[in-house]
Amino acid sequence: MHDGIFSPDSYVAQRRPLAEASPLPGWCYTDNAWYERELDAIFHREWLCIGRVEQIPEPGSYFTIELVGRPLIAVRDSAGRVWVHSAVCRHRGCIIAEGEGKCRSFICPYHSWTYALDGRLVGIPGSPHPLAGVEDFRNEDYGLAPVRAETWAGFIFVTFSDNAPRLMEWLGELPRFLAPYRLEEARQTHRDIYDVDCNWKLWLENAFENYHVATVHRKHYDPTKPQNWQFEDTWGRGPWEAMFSRRSVVAYSGLPEIAGLDPAHAAGLYHVWIRPSVQIILTSSYMKYRQYLPRGPHKLRLYENWTFPQSTVARPDFTEIVGPAYYHKYSEIIREDLGINPLVHRAMQSGAYLPGRFSLEEHIVHRIANYVLDRIVGPDDPPSRAAREGHPQADDRAAVNA
Ligand code: FES
Ligand SMILES: [Fe+2]
């Protein structure tokens, strides 16, 4: 382990304004102690997106997800309420459900303890009763551990923290910013899952800079049409960043525009990063969201989720068009990134990387680095932060960004 990796003094070059700053050092992507601290200070504290409500449309519908090592179940109960529970049995800890499906209750595959959709322990089958003679045992003390969950625009978010603010408060201005896209009417139609040998931040950073497109995605890129990405000023507006272009290589078409989308939004495309690990791509015809699921410092599981407006999904030609015009085109792009990100990770593991300098196109990469540093080594003082982010005065809105 590098000496001083948790000392703020080790990150002077990253804390400077973008035009003067360097990327994070390699150990931030590969060191086990650093990763453990990311779990504690980031993934166990923030709100994390686990999926969408339309994945569990009916009473008893459920899906499971492993989120930073914790197996979870999202389920709709008979009253229509969405719950998220730990999927770990309260008897001796077997995982009670995997994959997705529909059920009336969850029965542990080990000794059949049985849980209602709302997580209550409702049965311990066997005769004579398997817990006969056990003292002070009450079913109500052994339900599945609940996980704090709230929804916004169809997205289900969870947090492992009791101290996190309510989801809508935490999101700040983001719901208003994205309102034109009517995300509550989006329907998830497709998911691709990728297991990648790289740190979660490497792919996240890759996804928020356009600089690599002319090289890595040159087959899809027209150098005579610069993409001119513009960065949204999110100072004091919540835990997110956004960039807009009229000419992204993923501005696919063939299916209708989102109903009521104004011409300014319909003319381009946003990439939105919601800290720490969600990316939303908003275009005139579709919304894609990506979940970055770390599985240790060296492994990333990526969920690529496609959604379209309900009215688009209902078209008779939807399936025929969506494969070739959207899913397949995008999978070509992602294969190109699948080649690059593990190469960078190997270099980080080698210890041979001496941090270089950012291009100004790497504005959000710089924000990602500074967010991670805020959480892992501690926030820097408000005036420095204001200077770094191009705001001459630190005001009380800096606290919202912290
Ligand atoms: S571990 Fe689940 S019933 Fe025993
Ligand atoms: Fe890429």
Cβ density class 154-167: b for 16+ within 10 Å, e for less: bbbbbbbeeebeeb
Which SS3 state, helix, strand or coil, does residue 337 take?
A: helix
Answer whether 121's CB lies under 8 Å from 140's CB: yes
What does pTM read for this prediction? Answer: 0.95
Of 69, 65, 67, give the one whose Cα is nearest residue 100: 65
Is the beta carbon of 111 within 6 A of some atom in ligand 1?
Answer: yes
- Give the closest residue (by CA) to ligand 1 atom 1: 92
Pick 48-152's CATH classification: 2.102.10.10, 3.40.50.970, 3.40.50.300, 3.40.50.170. Answer: 2.102.10.10
Cα(296)–Cα(39) distance, integer angstroms: 10
Cα(358)–Cα(343) distance, integer angstroms: 19
What is the position in ligand 1's atom list of the atom closest to the CA of 90? 2
pLDDT digits (tens, 9 = 90+) for 282-305: 999 999 999 999 999 999 999 999
Average pLDDT of span 374-393: 87
What's the residue count for the chain? 402
Domain over 8-43+174-401 is classified CATH 3.90.380.10: yes
Sign of CA dihedral 10, 348, 273, 302: negative
95 DSSP 8-state letter: B
Of 178, 285, 200, give the one whose Cα is nearest residue 24: 200
- Identify which of 85, 88, 107, 113 to mutate to test ligand 1's pocket (most ligand atoms within 8 A of the CB): 113
The pair of three-digit structure tokens given for residue 297, joined into one six-digit string: 């410092």
Of 202, 369, 197, 206, give the one whose Cα is nearest residue 298: 197
Of 13, 99, 386, give the one whose Cα is nearest residue 236: 386
pLDDT digits (tens, 9 = 90+) for 9-48: 999 999 999 999 999 999 999 999 999 999 999 999 999 9
In sequence order, the β-bridge partners of residue 86 are 72
CA of 161 to the centre of ligand 1 (A): 26
Is the beta carbon of 295 within 6 A of some atom in ligand 1?
Answer: no
Indicate which ligand has the atom closest to the C-alpha of 207: 2
What is the position in ligand 1's atom list of the atom closest to the CA of 92? 1
Is the beta carbon of 92 within 6 A of some atom in ligand 1?
Answer: yes
| pLDDT score, position 385 | 87
Determine whether 342 is exposed, middle or buried from the number of CB atoms within 10 Å of its CB (0-12, 13-18, 19+). Answer: middle
What is the position in ligand 1's atom list of the atom closest to the CA of 124? 3
**Domain spans, the chain:** 8-43+174-401, 48-152
